Structure 1
Amino acid sequence: MSVTATPEAHGALELDPQRLPADELKRLLAQMITVRHLDTSAIAWQRQGIIPGYAPMQGQEAAQVGSIAALDMSRDFVFPTYREMGAAYAAGVDMAEYMATHKATWNGGLHDPVKHRFTPIQTVIAGSALHAVGWAHGQRLDAIREGREQTDLPASLIYLGDGASSQGDIHEAMNFAGVFKTPTVFFVQNNGWAISVPTERQVAGGSVAARGAGYGLPSVAVDGNDVEAVVRAVRAAVAHARSGAGAVVVEAFTYRRGPHSTSDDPGRYRTLEDERRDAGPDPIERLVERLVADGELTEAGVEEFRAEAAAFEERTREAVAAQGPRPGAEMFEYVYQETTPVLQQQAAQWREESDHA
């Protein structure tokens, strides 16, 4: 499997050839280094018993940080899975609040999804695709109802993996988006593996982007280890979606360098030699080498980014470790907008048993 795909657009989509400014690339690099440090540390936290479980994302830093950089986080909305820690950090989500799901403190994370334009973590495979398309369709309906032109709509971005692309929800979401031209970007992180199953054994044709044509959606295949290529591809996709022209499929070819989760042993289905051969260039080292070679960054500057990342990780670890259990009564308070007699009965029974205990 190759993860170094040349950016290629299909359908009515044109990529901006303009290179990103060095200052923006350095900002993205700092984010990627922080994300890598935090991701590696989260695995250690699980081993230490600070959190019960975690889904690593090493190797996907450029795909996640780059895709968020292409959005307007004051108006767009992000719909993540359980492996988007890097996207959450780049979107400004508090990392301790994000980690509440992995701490088993609060399902979906304690962050405010409306404030951060970043929905709660979704663990149902492909389930949030329907939410992303529904939200985007709502933006169209609002514009129609208010008599506004549908030429500058807020966009939704849904993260999914190559494995999730085989779920029926993706077909329904892409078909609906194609029919109603919703301002949605389907951002596929093809990391080579659906848990233990390689892409070529579960994605017919080997490409998710190619499926866009079947729904009338333009698509882009991009090197997901190149943060600049990701930013350019997603910016083009978002511009297309905003204009009222409809949804776009972006497939970022990258590689999951670690286990599927902290309960997974990747050694059971691939070797270290397989990983070295298939993973492609490390997205962080690749950008460091470019910026240093261009004279835009020194090794001392890289070390400064790493020191800041280490300090941030320590603050986050302390905040996560300090999280205590939530009040048990909350399990009855956030089920429905208006409570039901059955739920009230269950809450009363729970209080009686808890008080007795």
Structure 2
Amino acid sequence: MSDADAEPGADGETDAGGPPDPMGDVYRVLGPDGEVVGQVPDLADETLVDIYRDMVTARRFDERAISLQRQGRIGTYAAIEGQEASSVAATHALRDDDPVFYQYREHGAVIVRGFPAEYLAYWMGHESGTAGLADIDVFPLNIGIGAHLPHAVGAAMAFDYRENDRVACAHFGDGATSEGDFHEAMNFAGVFDVPGVFVCHNNQWAISIPREDQTASPTLAAKAEAYGFEGVRVDGMDPLAVYAVVAEAAGKARGDDTRDGADGTRADDGAGADDASGYDHRPTLIETVEYRFGAHTTADDPSVYRDDDEGDAWRPWDPIPRMEAFLRREGIADDDVIESVREEADERVAEVIDAAERFDADPADMFADVYAETTPELERQREGLLAAVDRHGAEAFLREE
């Protein structure tokens, strides 16, 4: 579904009297008050509640993680508030064995896939937490901006070569589109028609650089045209719109001629098509238009580069109240269901924190998987550290509270 395919009433405009829309021309299903303005995906009520539950869990995890960082109990952390819908709904739209390559803010993907206890230990600096992510087909978070995109394309190419019916889904921020890795990955994706879905989170800021200073392109989705495949802009704070667009993109990547489009139709971009449906593993670039309510990370001070009241225009579009209002409006959830969801979120996050804080770290772990085979220099460093720990005790290397 291209930008032009957005349905009437779902194009970024609001009814008279509604809040100003800061997103422009986007595909949308829910209005700011949870009213239906587009085509709702055909999902069971239980799945709709699951999407809501995962978003609530992501926000609760966010609140607790920021608090833990301020107490010195975890390291630098990237907040998700305002962006829960795009990572949660996108992951619900995939199959469980479709690998997710994420940057560092898409905690919702991990939560949807089961929220392993090792996840918080990973943010504490324990590399063993990576194993928990591997078990749920989520690749480790990536600090190098956009550096994971060629990896995602490579995985998608491998699926194609092996005739494996899987899709690689990569998440990245608007700042990544200024990196060479983005260009190289998208160019390969287009040339080789990889089964990939590329989700660009346009949260308006790449740390302190606003989107308008990132590119002269009118939109980030428009960049897909240069690579020979489709780009779509979607309201990234609308979980149902994100689900619809990602589900269609995943079907297109699989060459699935039975999938229904987000607008209820099947589209054909004509590029690389060699089957009856008009598709054969075509990638899609999805720009999720959203807002980062908090700081870039806990090491950032957004008051230095943006006005304190800037987020006011975006607050009415907060994905969690919108989804809750929709569930109530449709009779899918009442006070008891909402309260149960919140309690479950609190309990699950508490369990993950408890498990992470019981983790017994081994200083040698940091050397374990740097290379497939440990180099002599790395072994020298490892032995030196362990000898120092033996001489002085591990507590000598810990920052005193």
TM-score, length of structure 1 as denominator length = 0.88
Return the offset for 1:333: 2.8
Structure-2 change in CA distance of 1:43 and 1:70 (3 Å)? same
Report the equivalent of 2:132. Answer: 112
Q: Partner of 2:151: helix, strand, or coil?
A: helix
Q: Partner of 1:263: helix, strand, or coil?
A: coil
Return the offset for 1:348: 4.2
| Residue correspondence of structure 1 range 140-179 to structure 2 within 5 A | 140-143=160-163, 153-179=165-191
The C-alpha deviation readout for 1:214-251, integer Å capped at 9, x for no partner, is: 00011211111111111110011111111133211011
> Given that residues 4 and 225 in structure 1 are in contact (C-alpha distance below 8 angstroms), is that contact kept between their aligned partners in structure 2?
no
Match of 2:49 among 23, 26, 31: 26
Return the offset for 1:279: 4.6
Return the offset for 1:4: 6.4
Structure-2 change in CA distance of 1:205 and 1:250 (3 Å)? same
Are residues 1:298 and 2:329 paired?
A: no
Instruction: State the one-letter code of the partner of 1:137.
Output: M
Instruction: State the one-letter code of the partner of 1:277.
Output: A
**Separation in 2, partners of 1:30, 1:185:** 24
Q: Partner of 1:71: helix, strand, or coil?
A: coil
The C-alpha deviation readout for 1:51-87, integer Å capped at 9, x for no partner, is: 12211000111111100001111x2111011112111
**Separation in 2, partners of 1:268, 1:341:** 45
Instruction: Please identify, of 58-67 and 304-313, the stretch whose mean Cα deviation from structure 2 is larger.
Output: 304-313
Larger helix fraction of residues: 1
Are residues 1:126 and 2:146 paired?
A: yes
| Residue correspondence of structure 1 range 78-227 to structure 2 within 5 A | 78-94=100-116, 96-106=117-127, 109-143=129-163, 153-227=165-239
Structure-2 change in CA distance of 1:19 and 1:155 (3 Å)? same
Structure-2 change in CA distance of 1:280 and 1:170 (3 Å)? farther
> Given that residues 199 and 206 in structure 1 are in contact (C-alpha distance below 8 angstroms), is that contact kept between their aligned partners in structure 2?
no
Report the equivalent of 2:311. Answer: 275
Match of 2:80 among 57, 81, 99: 57
Return the offset for 1:356: 4.4
Structure-2 change in CA distance of 1:93 and 1:295 (3 Å)? closer
Which runs of 5 or more residues in structure 2 are unaligned? 1-20, 29-37, 256-279, 393-401
Report the equivalent of 1:331. Answer: 366
The C-alpha deviation readout for 1:262-307, integer Å capped at 9, x for no partner, is: 1211122223321111455110100111111122211222111111
**Separation in 1, partners of 2:239, 2:134:** 27
Return the offset for 1:40: 1.1
Q: Partner of 1:255: helix, strand, or coil?
A: coil
- Report the count of equivalent residues: 339
Structure-2 change in CA distance of 1:301 and 1:355 (3 Å)? closer
Q: Partner of 1:81: helix, strand, or coil?
A: coil
**Separation in 2, partners of 1:29, 1:4:** 25
Return the offset for 1:135: 0.8
Instruction: Please identify, of 125-134 and 84-93, the stretch whose mean Cα deviation from structure 2 is larger.
Output: 84-93
**Separation in 2, partners of 1:121, 1:257:** 21
Q: Partner of 2:148: helix, strand, or coil?
A: helix
> Given that residues 20 and 228 in structure 1 are in contact (C-alpha distance below 8 angstroms), is that contact kept between their aligned partners in structure 2?
no
TM-score, length of structure 2 as denominator length = 0.79
Report the equivalent of 2:15. Answer: none
Report the equivalent of 2:398. Answer: none
Report the equivalent of 2:90. Answer: 67
Instruction: Please identify, of 111-120 and 287-296, the stretch whose mean Cα deviation from structure 2 is larger.
Output: 111-120
